[in-house]
Amino acid sequence: MPTLRSAPPQGIPIQCQHTRHRLEQDQRLRLQLLVAELQELLEAPVLNSTEMRRTMQLCLVLSNSAKAYVSKGRVMVVERNNGSEP
């Protein structure tokens, strides 16, 4: 098993399709949780300075994650109900 020091900078190639799929699912779940946290913060009537910093941090993390996700040729579609449907 490679250690962090011996791993190439582009990462370790994932040989097993099941492992690759599980890692992608984990990443999607992590992003969904970050989006939910950001949405809660944005829906708050007032943000204190700590919440504002967390909001900016979440935006940065999500932006960087989205860039990496899109650069791999994947697009994540998120459906949102804006109250227009019952």
Please provide residue 18's backbone torsions phi and psi, each rounded to the nearest 5 degrees: -65, -40
pLDDT tens profile 1-49: 444 555 566 666 666 777 777 888 888 888 889 999 999 999 999 999 9
Answer yes or no: pTM beyond 0.75. Answer: no
Angle of CA points 7, 9, 12, to nearest 5°: 50
> What's the rounded Cα separation, in Å, for the pair 42 and 26?
24
Q: How far apart are CA 70 and CA 80, in angstroms?
A: 20
Write the single-letter amino acid at 10. Q
- In whole angstroms, give the CA distance from residue 47 to residue 36: 16
**Other C-beta atoms within 10 Å of 67: how many?**
10
